[in-house]
Amino acid sequence: MPSRSVVVSSQLLRLARDLRTALDQAFAPTGLTSQQAGLLIHVHTGVTSPKAAGELLGSDSAGMTRMVDRLVAKGLLERTPDTEDRRAIALRLTPPGRELVQTLPAIFERVATRLTAGFDADHLLDELGRMVTNLSTEPSD
């Protein structure tokens, strides 16, 4: 029989998968995935570096390139020269992208409200923060 810790880990993995599915279903009417919506929101809030956006979204450079390509093809995002580094590009919302991004946070909020219904948010945040801290520190064997 697996330990309680293993069962908790398994449930967290299932939750992550189910949350991604719920978000992708909620964003489907916009023609976006949840990752694409997250990228548009990050660009809207000033994260213009594909590398920085990839770190925030947990995506590698190849994944970011594909995601940016798709959003450029949809006319929502464009690549522009980075004003501070000639070797780099910056991401910028197009006018349709700026219009669409206004609707995206409410979709994330609806799914998050569903997810956390019945929980004490402060307690939940504390517990999740402890889990993140636990994984970011070296185990003492």
User: 52, 58, 60, 59: which is closest to 84 by C-alpha?
Assistant: 52
Per-residue pLDDT of the chain (141 residues; tens, 9 = 90+): 889 999 999 999 999 999 999 999 999 999 999 999 999 999 999 999 999 999 999 999 999 999 999 999 999 999 999 888 888 899 999 999 999 999 999 999 999 999 999 999 899 999 999 999 999 987 776
